[in-house]
Structure 1
Amino acid sequence: MKDRPYLYAGALIVVLLATTWAPAQTPRTPPKASWKFTLDFIVQGPQAPFLVALEKGYYADEGLAVTIDRGFGSADAVTKIATGAYNLGYADINSMIEFNARNPGSALVAIAIVLDAPPFSILTLRRENIRQPVDLYGKKLGAPAGDAPRRLWPLFARAVGLLPTSVEWVTMDAPLREPFLIRGEVNAISGFYFTSFLNLKAARVDPADIVAFLYSDYGLPLYGNAIIAPPALLEKDPALVRGFLRAFVRAMKDTVNNPAEAVSLVKKRDPLINDAVELERLILALRNNMLTRDVQVNGFGVAKGERLARSIDLLAEAFQFPSKPRWQQVFTDKFLPPKAERMLPPLR
């Protein structure tokens, strides 16, 4: 398992790719606005709906010229949106809530929940003999500094009976996270389950040897990633914001109806992706994180106030917020399409 140079080659290829995506064709009518949108990470299967909407011209249909850039972690994406480098973007809502609490003058708002069940997880290998979360005590955990599950580790640690300081964190760039675990330089890693599990599998790790602890399995009510924007944009261009979400919901429906087509559209923009891996990753995210029971009942994009309030309480306690925002200050559904238009088809 030590001799894996292809892991580094593949990682470097991904990092060095051109990672800005713009409309493939000039729209028939001049756009009403040009917006820059940041993802949370490199484009993978679960981010496909954003590029489906771009490739099929759904944003253009709403009068928007949208340019999409890869991200470098949710914390980085939140900061870039708040400082005006991007008009809006896609990031972990918990990272946004923490940012808002510490920067009330630059607070952002989530306008659509995309990952209704968060993919936050700790992954290890059976050889490490970590059978339950408490076995992480005294171990080395690896992740990039801005990794959302790493930042949320204090909440998970408390939920499973550990002190947040009971592990040692090792920092590396995202492409090196799984190689560090494979080579034994760390005992476990944090990451999005659908990202790290399939990265390990693609590196020829036997899935039976992968042990995963999902934060959502230990009583944490957290939401995952959301589309977020500054209040100034919502106040200035409410109709265009509604149009953006309308376009995205169209793309979500297309993605659920035909995941393979969605990945093929991503591959048009990024020919070096492994489409088989990204299709598996997309289906895993759709099944476990996007098409939840709540989404089936309430439609795409909404957050339950009580659940979000409990999340804020946990975040405020773990991170010692100077002040605690109300859930109505961090999420609004007023720009989403009507419920009937937000009902997603079942995954076939």
Structure 2
Amino acid sequence: MSAGSITRRNVLGAGVVSLAALSFPAIVRAQSLKSLKPVNLLADWVYGGPNAGLVVAKEKGFFADAGLDVTINQGKGSGSTAQIVASKAVQFGFADGFVVGNSVSKGMKLKMVAGVYRRNPCAALVLEESDIRSPKDLEGKTVGIATGSAQFQQWPAFIKGAGLDASKVRVINVDGAGAGPALISGQVAAIAGFAQGYIPSIEIRGKKKVRAFWYADEGVTAMSNGIIVHQDLLADPDLIRGMVRATMKGFLYGRANAEEMTQIVKKYQETTDPAITLREAQLSWSTWVTPTTANKPLGWMAPEDWTATVAVLKTYGGVTTPLEAAELYTNEFVPTEAEFIPPQNV
């Protein structure tokens, strides 16, 4: 038989080799998946530009690189996420720091282990076409705010910081879903909420330009969204450290690769509009850095910002129990490498 002859044995042998070659990567992947630690993460809301880093971290394999098999679920608000993390139904949550502080004051054993929106994202929003050019012009107007929300609780602080006469501003309850339409239709002259949650849809879908009066510009400091855990999970520092590192990589990668980020979000939430997702993300990026967190890695939280947050909670948020800033957060698990320092916007 010549060297070039093909026999049944040759064919079978080649088939076995080919099958083994094809199967080997799959076997390795399966074994790798088995070695990953299952983890649950609950978002604050539906997937979008603001929390895109969560799904980017999963899609790009950053969680897997950290040895984690992360299941992410969409949330129904930071208050709900905080309660579920406090119940230990999930290990990690993405929620608002102001809400977390309020929750801890009520006995929930929570800790923020990384901060992302480190500048207060709350703002009073008006249409550019209106006659409202400054916060002072809100006097004599009706403002829609969701009762019980962080922006509602912080509203008196905004009023004071802006030098407004509270008796001259009418505040009515408008839920989150109805706020944008209420502003566009003229039912209210202004709404208050997370700027990144409202401005994009009003401007892109509603075709109306928006003017924002940021709470932070009126001296209302409040830590916003970050990664939270039940305090008992602090006993597993390697798990938290890996989760924080991977999540921060997800947010930073999404910012550096914005178009890809919008497509990843759309994969996980098909109803999203990439243009809105991008605008949401851009507004969120403006909340990543404060004067006290300048040139610090994403995730790192300034003691001064948490102290100011607690002061707002005690003065305006209805907190009457003893509450110290140090109870609410830790920077122990935040990566320190320069690659985690985000672009500076202050």
TM-score (norm 1): 0.82
Matches within 5 A, 1:1-348: 28-101=32-105, 103-104=106-107, 106-126=108-128, 128-137=130-139, 139-145=141-147, 147-162=149-164, 166-172=169-175, 174-207=176-209, 210-235=210-235, 237-286=236-285, 288-291=286-289, 294-340=292-338, 342-344=340-342
**Equivalent-residue separation in structure 2 for 1:71 and 1:156 (angstroms):** 27
- Deviation per CA, 1:82-122, whole angstroms, max 9, x where unpaired? 22333221111011111111x23x23111111012222111
Residue 3 of structure 1 is matched in structure 2 by: none
Q: CA RMSD in A?
A: 2.5
Measured after TM superposition, the shift of residue 148 of structure 1 is 2.7
Change in 2 beyond 3 A, CA 1:31/1:341: farther
Aligned length: 316
Whichever residue aligns with residue 337 of structure 1, its letter is: P
Change in 2 beyond 3 A, CA 1:27/1:281: farther
| 141-150 vs 119-128, which moves further | 141-150
**Equivalent-residue separation in structure 2 for 1:305 and 1:185 (angstroms):** 40
SS of residue in 1 equivalent to 2:198: helix
Cα pair 2:118 2:288 within 8 Å, conserved:
yes
SS of residue in 2 equivalent to 1:176: helix
| 302-311 vs 90-99, which moves further | 302-311
| 336-345 vs 74-83, which moves further | 336-345
Measured after TM superposition, the shift of residue 312 of structure 1 is 1.0
**Equivalent-residue separation in structure 2 for 1:27 and 1:56 (angstroms):** 19
Change in 2 beyond 3 A, CA 1:251/1:319: closer
| 188-197 vs 125-134, which moves further | 125-134
**Equivalent-residue separation in structure 1 for 2:141 and 2:87 (angstroms):** 37
**Equivalent-residue separation in structure 1 for 2:220 and 2:335 (angstroms):** 28
Cα pair 1:73 1:147 within 8 Å, conserved:
no
**Equivalent-residue separation in structure 1 for 2:34 and 2:58 (angstroms):** 16
SS of residue in 2 equivalent to 1:297: coil
**Equivalent-residue separation in structure 1 for 2:31 and 2:195 (angstroms):** 37
Please list every run of 5 or more consecutive structure 1 residues that lacks an aligned counterpart in the other structure: 1-24
SS of residue in 1 equivalent to 2:34: coil
Aligned residues with identical type, % of pairs: 28
| 328-337 vs 76-85, which moves further | 76-85
Measured after TM superposition, the shift of residue 293 of structure 1 is 5.5
Cα pair 1:37 1:87 within 8 Å, conserved:
yes
| 239-248 vs 70-79, which moves further | 70-79
Whichever residue aligns with residue 203 of structure 1, its letter is: R
**Equivalent-residue separation in structure 2 for 1:41 and 1:26 (angstroms):** 32
- Deviation per CA, 1:205-251, whole angstroms, max 9, x where unpaired? 332xx23210011112222211111101122x211111101111222
**Equivalent-residue separation in structure 1 for 2:249 and 2:156 (angstroms):** 37
Please list every run of 5 or more consecutive structure 2 residues that lacks an aligned counterpart in the other structure: 1-28
**Equivalent-residue separation in structure 1 for 2:114 and 2:65 (angstroms):** 20
Cα pair 2:295 2:344 within 8 Å, conserved:
no
Measured after TM superposition, the shift of residue 203 of structure 1 is 2.5
- Deviation per CA, 1:17-46, whole angstroms, max 9, x where unpaired? xxxxxxxx9772325532222222221112
Q: Of the two, which has the highest radius of gyration?
A: 2
- Deviation per CA, 1:241-300, whole angstroms, max 9, x where unpaired? 1110111122233123211111111112222211122123212322x1125565551221
Residue 11 of structure 1 is matched in structure 2 by: none
Cα pair 1:259 1:283 within 8 Å, conserved:
no
Whichever residue aligns with residue 152 of structure 1, its letter is: Q
Change in 2 beyond 3 A, CA 1:112/1:46: same
SS of residue in 1 equivalent to 2:270: coil
